[in-house]
Amino acid sequence: MRILLVDDEVELTDSLAQLFAREGYEVDVAYDGRGALALLETHSSVTDSPYDLIVLDWMLPHHSGLELCQRVRTACGATPVLFLTAKDTLDDRVEGLDAGADDYLVKPFELRELMARVRAQLRRSQSSPTTVPTPQRLQVEDLELDRDNRMAYRQGKAIALSEKEFQLLDYFMTHPGQLLGREQIYRHLWPDEEKPSSNVLAAQVKLLRRKLEGQKKRSRPLIQSVYGKGYRFGSQPAASE
């Protein structure tokens, strides 16, 4: 499996590249956004999905990690992206996930946790072609989810989803009207890795709401928060977060 590692902290990047290599992964390294784009463009001429995982810093010279993530999501489809960054607020997490990242780990971090997240993303990317039912669509009220193409449609308008957003929405739509506890959702989204901080799920829900309702919230909210318990999907009245 092949990993692209992008970070301008040379000592950290080289150490991580050696660690990944010892674990049996092929690793390409870039120290700025320009170098990362060059690698993506070079290998994209050979295959549509040149990397199995991209590990990406946010604050990079020339092109930010946020910009790179958006370009990766457009060019490489569902290739998993893991942000590795010192930006640690909830708004930062939401913005990173909203740009298309599948996971988000704040510096400083434990190597064991990083490797667990890397393994989880690689397993998920390898298994997804066989585990997603095809062809199949889910519908709840005016929202449709195309599982084949990992796209949502609301009132005829297409909504692009990151891999983690797709997993969350798919889980909600297969349990319409049911109260889903936060621990239950954590186990579904992160089954094989250490549970991330509580802010991560809140960030995922917030950005998914934003996409489903639109920036100006023209549509009825479908994700309802149940205080102290979890979430319910559908337009039933409930306390909002």
Domain CATH number, residue 11: 3.40.50.2300
Count of CB atoms within 10 A of residue 32's CB? Answer: 17
Rounded to 5 degrees, φ, ψ at 189 are -80, -30
Please state the domain count of the chain.
Answer: 2
Question: Would the pTM of this model clear 0.75, i.e. be above it?
Answer: no
**67 and 94: one domain?**
yes
121 and 219 belong to one structural domain: no
For residues 49 and 89, membership in a common domain is answered with yes
CA-CA distance, 169 to 181, in Å (whole number)? 15
What does each of the 241 residues of the chain score in pLDDT, given as a tens digit? 889 999 999 999 999 999 999 988 999 999 998 998 888 877 654 445 578 899 999 999 888 888 888 887 776 667 889 999 888 888 888 888 888 888 999 998 899 999 999 998 888 777 654 443 344 788 888 899 988 778 899 888 889 888 889 999 999 998 888 888 888 888 888 876 666 766 888 899 999 999 988 755 666 788 998 888 889 998 654 444 4
50: β partners: none
Q: Is residue 200 part of a domain?
A: yes
CA 63, 69, 70, 74 torsion: positive or negative? positive
- 145 and 124 within one domain: no
Please identify which residue in the block is written with the tokens 């092109």. 63
